[in-house]
Amino acid sequence: MKFASPTYVEETRLGFAFLRTHTWQHHVLRVAINDLKRLVGEPLPRGGTLLDVGCGQGRSFRLLRDAFAPDRLIGLDADPHSIALSRQESDREGIDARFIVGDCAAIDLPDASVDIVFCHQTFHHLVEQERALDEFWRVLKPGGVLLFAESTKAYIDTWVIRWFFRHPMHVQKSADEYMAMLRRRGFRFDDAQVSLPYLWWSRSKDFGLAERWGLKAPPPPGQREETLVNVAARKPLDA
């Protein structure tokens, strides 16, 4: 599973295997896509071209098709083996998709050619985050949507994640830092387009057991280190 990409940190063998599981698809991808769909609001973007950056093994494809009904779906990943598995997944689901083996920091697509960019749990793998965000902006049409779902430094920098997965630790950010970066690039969103999920699997200290057993209530936003951030951001029409 070795591949060359100077701006991407590849997954471990265990991480790669996990990304193919029902647990990943049902408890992580499905939950995030449903939340992002809610954040976009009505009317939902339908049709057009949807770019899944860091598509991995294609486990998001059916969920994205059902949520946004794109006319054209493109999967981008730096790992050729992942792309091969994504092709198998699209064939299995009857989804006509195009695939690009490439880097998020240099996307082989024309300017303003995409209606939705879906970036789920990919950004924290990227070394050149600013360059990747520039590329998302470039390929999005004016009025296009960036669906951004990421784990924060508070989650990535824990023993369980360091043990099982691999990430460029020097670029990890808090939820506020990710949102500030999106805004600096020009993406627009307000509080209604942001959520800060505090899901059990993102809390590596106790996995939320004390709350599930009724021993304590979860800490409210502002009194905890956020572990996840979801944002439905738009490129302005006049951009």
pLDDT in tens, 172-228: 899 999 999 999 999 999 999 999 987 655 555 555 555 665 555 666 677 678 889
| Predicted local confidence at residue 4, as pLDDT | 40
The reply to whether 221 falls in a domain is yes
| Predicted local confidence at residue 1, as pLDDT | 35
The reply to whether 173 falls in a domain is yes
Give the CATH number of the domain where residue 121 resides.
3.40.50.150
The residue count for the chain: 239
In this structure, are residues 194 and 228 in contact, taking their beta carbons and an 8 Å threshold? no
Peptide bond into 142 cis (omega under 30): no
| Predicted local confidence at residue 163, as pLDDT | 56
Highest mean pLDDT among 140-144, 158-162, 225-229: 140-144
Residue 31 reports pLDDT greater than 60? yes
The reply to whether 3 falls in a domain is no
Average pLDDT over residues 145-165: 77
Of 6 and 17, the structure prediction assigns the larger pLDDT to 17
Going by C-beta distance under 8 Å and a sequence separation of 6 or more, which residues neighbour residue 58? 75, 85, 86, 87, 88, 89, 90, 97
In this structure, are residues 120 and 168 in contact, taking their beta carbons and an 8 Å threshold? no
Please list the alpha-helical segments (H only) found in 167-239. Answer: 175-185, 209-212
The reply to whether 4 falls in a domain is no
Average pLDDT over residues 124-143: 95
The reply to whether 2 falls in a domain is no
Show the domain range for 115. 13-234
| Predicted local confidence at residue 231, as pLDDT | 98
| Predicted local confidence at residue 232, as pLDDT | 98
For the chain, the first-to-last Cα distance in angstroms comes to: 39
Residue 73 reports pLDDT greater than 50? yes
User: Which of 150, 154, 160, 124 is closest to 225 using CA atoms?
Assistant: 154
| Predicted local confidence at residue 234, as pLDDT | 98
In this structure, are residues 115 and 49 in contact, taking their beta carbons and an 8 Å threshold? yes
Mean pLDDT, all residues of the chain: 86
The reply to whether 199 falls in a domain is yes
The total number of structural domains in the chain stands at 1
The reply to whether 49 falls in a domain is yes
The reply to whether 8 falls in a domain is no
